[in-house]
């Protein structure tokens, strides 16, 4: 499988997630380019080998049992092209890096995403956002790979999307073209610094976590609901509700997949018992048995 990219064997996936949770996988392949990805997927399908595509590992809760399959990383798909205010970025580009490149061209729209630790593909797929902005706001079109290995482009007008959601889950996003606004990069950097300092002071972004655990129900903050139940600091082994922000679970050392899932379910039950609200999990929960 070396012709498809860099192949690693018996890889500990803890190192590839911001949560520091994950089991070992038989193979991890960092594909060289789009064609290598397509050829690898065709090979895996023909050989009936299970696989999972992992982005930056920042919005995913990974099964920590052994995965007898292939984890594919797209970090080498990292091209950025800028044509006036149209910016096309490959799926493996990190958002913070993309924003920095855009600011050099006085394109300021993605400054809200400077601290979102995801990649372009996964962040657009889940319509990541903060500060009342999200990725789909600036999308022009998306280049995707279908289940039949067909490459096609989908315009924004053809995509259904909403809060932390798009209907692109049946595809693999290869690249995204954004339309961004020109602005003053110096003022934008100042605003970014202020916003990012507030965020770092109010969220445990320097600890092992996956960002917000629950989507905000309509008209209310999930963090506030959990906080009013005095659950900050509550833990199951090393999986702990952050004392900084109640909608974050941090890995306080060696939290397991089971610890995190039990803590998530505990929070959901408590919130439902007290408020009649069913919280919806925001990160992707990956169980190898369901692939």
What is residue 131's predicted lDDT score, i.e. its pLDDT? 87
DSSP letters, 91-115, are TT-BHHHHHHHHHHTTB-GGGGGTT
Active site residue: 34, 58, 242, 282, which one?
282
DSSP letters, 177-245, are EEE--B--HHHHHHHHHHHHHHHHHHS-TTSSB-S-SBPPPTTS-HHHHHHHTT-TT-EETTEEE-SS-
What is residue 156's predicted lDDT score, i.e. its pLDDT? 98
What is residue 1's predicted lDDT score, i.e. its pLDDT? 83
The model's pLDDT over 222-263, given as tens digits with 9 standing for 90+, comes to 999 999 999 999 999 999 999 999 999 999 999 999 999 999
* CB 58 within 8 Å of CB 117: yes
Per-residue pLDDT of the chain (291 residues; tens, 9 = 90+): 889 999 999 999 999 999 999 999 999 999 999 999 999 999 999 999 999 999 999 999 999 999 999 999 999 999 999 999 999 999 999 999 999 999 999 999 999 999 899 999 999 999 999 888 999 999 999 999 999 999 999 999 999 999 999 999 999 999 999 999 999 999 999 999 998 899 889 999 999 999 999 999 999 999 999 999 999 999 999 999 999 999 999 999 999 999 999 999 999 999 999 999 999 999 999 999 999
Q: DSSP code of 154?
A: E
∠ CA 218-221-226 to the nearest 5 degrees? 125
Helix (H), strand (E) at residue 263 = helix 257-275
What is residue 58's predicted lDDT score, i.e. its pLDDT? 93
Q: What is residue 7's three-state secondary structure?
A: strand
**C-alpha–C-alpha distance, residues 131 and 138, integer Å:** 14
Structure tokens that stand for 90 in this block: 């490959």
Q: Catalytic annotation on 212?
A: yes
Active site residue: 114, 175, 212, 242, which one?
212
Active site residue: 137, 164, 256, 262, which one?
164
Which residues contact residue 123 at a Cβ distance below 8 angstroms, ignoring those fewer than 6 apart?
95, 113, 116, 135
Q: Catalytic annotation on 282?
A: yes
pTM above 0.85, yes or no: yes
């Amino acid at each position: 499988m070396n012709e498809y990219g860099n192949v690693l064997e018996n890889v500990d996936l803890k190192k590839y997630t911001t949560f520091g949770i994950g089991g070992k996988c038989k193979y991890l392949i960092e594909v060289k380019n789009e064609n290598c990805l397509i050829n690898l997927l065709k090979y895996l399908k023909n050989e009936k080998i299970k696989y999972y595509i992992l982005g930056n590992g920042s919005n995913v809760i990974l099964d920590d049992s052994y995965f007898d399959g292939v984890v594919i990383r797209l970090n080498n798909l990292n091209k950025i092209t800028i044509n006036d205010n149209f910016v096309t970025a490959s799926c493996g580009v990190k958002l913070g890096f993309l924003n920095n490149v855009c600011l050099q061209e006085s394109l300021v729209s993605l400054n809200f995403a400077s601290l979102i630790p995801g990649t372009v593909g996964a962040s657009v797929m889940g319509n990541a956002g903060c500060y009342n902005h999200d990725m789909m706001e600036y999308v022009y079109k998306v280049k995707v790979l279908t289940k039949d290995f067909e490459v096609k482009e989908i315009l924004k007008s053809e995509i259904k999307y909403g809060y932390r959601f798009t209907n692109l889950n049946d595809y693999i996003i290869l690249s995204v073209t954004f339309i961004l606004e020109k602005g003053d990069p110096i003022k934008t950097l100042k605003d970014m610094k202020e916003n990012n300092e507030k965020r770092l002071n109010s969220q445990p972004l320097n600890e092992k976590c996956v960002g917000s655990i629950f989507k905000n129900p309509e008209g209310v903050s999930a963090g506030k609901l959990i906080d009013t139940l005095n659950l900050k600091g509550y833990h199951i082994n090393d999986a702990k509700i952050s004392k900084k922000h109640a909608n974050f679970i941090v890995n306080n050392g060696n939290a397991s997949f089971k610890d995190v899932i039990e803590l998530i379910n505990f929070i959901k039950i408590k919130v439902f018992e007290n408020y009649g609200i069913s919280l919806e999990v925001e990160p992707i929960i990956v169980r190898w048995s369901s692939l």
